[in-house]
Amino acid sequence: MKYYSLILILAALIMAACTSTDKATVDVQVETQTAAEFIESGKALAMEGEYDKAYNDFSRAIEIDPKNTEAYILRARVSFASVSDVTKVEEDFSGIIYNSVEGGASEEQIEKYDLAIGDLDKALELNPEDAETYIRRGRVYAEKGDYDSAISNYTQAIDLDSELVRAYNGRGNAYTDKGEYDNAIADFSEAVKLRPSYAEGFNNRGYAYLLKGDTDKAITDFSEAIKQDPEFAIAYNNRGHAYIDKKDYNKATTDFDKAIELEPEYTKAYNGRATAYANRQDYDRAIADYTEALNRDPKFARAYNGRGSAYLNKEEYDNAIVDFNEAIKNDPENSSAYNSRGLAYAYKGDYRRAIADYTKAIELNPESIMAYNNRGVEYHARRDYRNAVQDYEAALNIDRNNATARRNLDEARRAMGSR
């Protein structure tokens, strides 16, 4: 029995030794994995959308080789991709197409952008002549909302290589975000001069023209972008908005139809088409399209505001108020939603809430002629002519030619004189 027990003990010791040897072998294998192998593994994970795991692999590569610029750049890319609206990490922060963005960066996004910027700082410290990495860092700064730093980075890239189309494109977008439309147009013009088939450049310049108020030039550029890329859904969407500005709602609807045909999940195209329908006073179709937009993005404040306005025009005031509430919940700085909700309350006879909403709209946007005029109308209806006159005058101080405010002011003054 003792002999048998001794055999069992020896067998257990041998098994433990083998297990320990196997574990040591595994540890050695991990320790001897090269930086290049971690980079390749990280790339594969990133392509599968496994950004956290990819980040860890690139971090291991950096631990092994602290001077590996590729590892820093790749780690920055997955930090960026994990919180940004990009579909493929290999896009490498490039090919920026200008389209309106809802709201600013969230705290989570800013945290990730800062990580990316730190890694790109290190990459540029190791290779300060890398123009492409200045473009990458410019993109991250732009997404963070730091447009001056973005412009500085794109400019450094251009200083290193004056024919970098993406640098002009990126800087143009940053200028657009700053509201410096002439500078933006100059950069996009340089981009399409360097690459005459550059559909993104034509689209982005068109958007700058649209925001500047030069709708005809905007349509020309969007049309050129579509000519260069007939499947460019964003260009159709943007041209649709330009046609809305020209009150050509049939052409606008056709463009939004095409954008949706090309990208059936294109939220903003549904919202745009809804706006065109609303302007045609086809409120049922407008409501249907706003609803499609909200099905795809339940936090889309502009779609709630638009659908609320359609309900308002249909005299469905309770439905309108529900939508304006959602618009305000998702965009608390939305002056238009407060003004519109004020109208809905006014139509329901709730003048206290109406005045409160108009007042909030004015607080958020002191240039809101409609809010001043609407509050004036509410005061006027309550025979508070003094406050009504003040509001009409405030509207006229913003726009001396506003016929509605002028007419209302005259009526209020007459009413005051007859008391």
Q: For residue range 334-359, list pLDDT tens digits in order.
A: 999 999 999 999 999 999 999 999 99
Assess if residue 65 is contained within a domain: yes
Chain centroid to CA 301: 12
The pLDDT-based confidence of 417 (bands split at 50, 70, 90) is: confident
Specify the pLDDT at position 199. 96
Give the residue-averaged pLDDT of 218-226: 98
pLDDT, mean of residues 2-20: 39
Q: What is the mean pLDDT of the chain?
A: 89
Evaluate whether residue 391 is within a structural domain: no
Q: Among all chains, which residue has been given the structure tokens 């996004």?
A: 109
Is 182 part of a structural domain of the chain?
Answer: no
- Where helices occur in 266-334 by DSSP H, the ranges are 267-279, 283-296, 301-313, 317-330
Would you say residue 98 has pLDDT above 80?
Answer: no
Model confidence band, residue 5 (pLDDT cutoffs 50, 70, 90)? very low
Q: Are 353 and 331 in contact (CB under 8 A)?
A: no
**Eight-state DSSP code of residue 100:** -
Task: Give residue 93's pLDDT band: very low, low, confident or very high (50, 70, 90).
Answer: low
Q: Is residue 235 part of a domain?
A: no
Q: What confidence tier does 86 reach under pLDDT thresholds 50, 70, 90? A: low
**Residue 19 pLDDT greater than 60, yes or no:** no
Task: Tell me the pLDDT band of 25, cut-offs 50, 70 and 90.
Answer: very low
Those residues with Cβ within 8 angstroms of residue 184's Cβ, 6 or more apart along the chain or in another chain = 172, 173, 175, 176, 204, 205, 208
357 inside domain: no
Range of the domain at 125: 34-95+107-161
Query: In whole angstroms, what is the distance from residue 263 CA to residue 186 CA?
Result: 30
Closest CA relative to residue 357, chosen from 328, 385, 382, 381: 328
Q: What is the pLDDT of residue 102?
A: 54
Lowest mean per-residue pLDDT among 22-36, 89-103, 228-242, 376-390: 89-103
pLDDT band of 273, cuts 50, 70, 90? very high
Structurally, how many domains does the chain consist of? 1
- Quick check: 192 and 172 in contact, CB under 8 A? no
Task: Give, in order, the Cα–Cα distances in Å from 124 to each of 68, 120, 136, 163, 256.
Answer: 11, 6, 11, 20, 42
Confirm whether 130 is domain-assigned: yes
Residue 417 lies in a domain: no
Confidence of residue 96 (pLDDT cuts 50, 70, 90): very low
* Between 403 and 101, the higher pLDDT residue: 403
The yes-or-no verdict on residue 15 having pLDDT over 60 is no
- pLDDT above 70 covers a percentage of the chain that reads 87
In this predicted structure, what is the pLDDT of residue 49? 86
Give the pLDDT score at 310: 98
pLDDT above 90: percentage of residues in the chain = 82
- 23: confidence class by pLDDT, cuts 50, 70, 90: very low
pLDDT score for 103: 60
Range 259-277 burial, b when 16+ CB lie within 10 A, else e = bbebbeebbbbbbbbbbbb
> What is the distance between the alpha carbons of residues 258 and 236, in angstroms, rounded to a whole number?
7
Helix or strand (DSSP H, E) at 186: helix 181-194
Does residue 96 or residue 223 have the better pLDDT? Answer: 223
pLDDT at 92: 55
189-213: pLDDT as tens digits: 999 999 999 999 999 999 999 999 9
Structure tokens at 258: 């095409």
The radius of gyration computed from the CA coordinates of the chain, to the nearest angstrom, equals 29
pLDDT tens string 389-401? 999 999 999 999 9
Which CATH number covers residue 76?
1.25.40.10
- Flag whether 133 is in a domain: yes
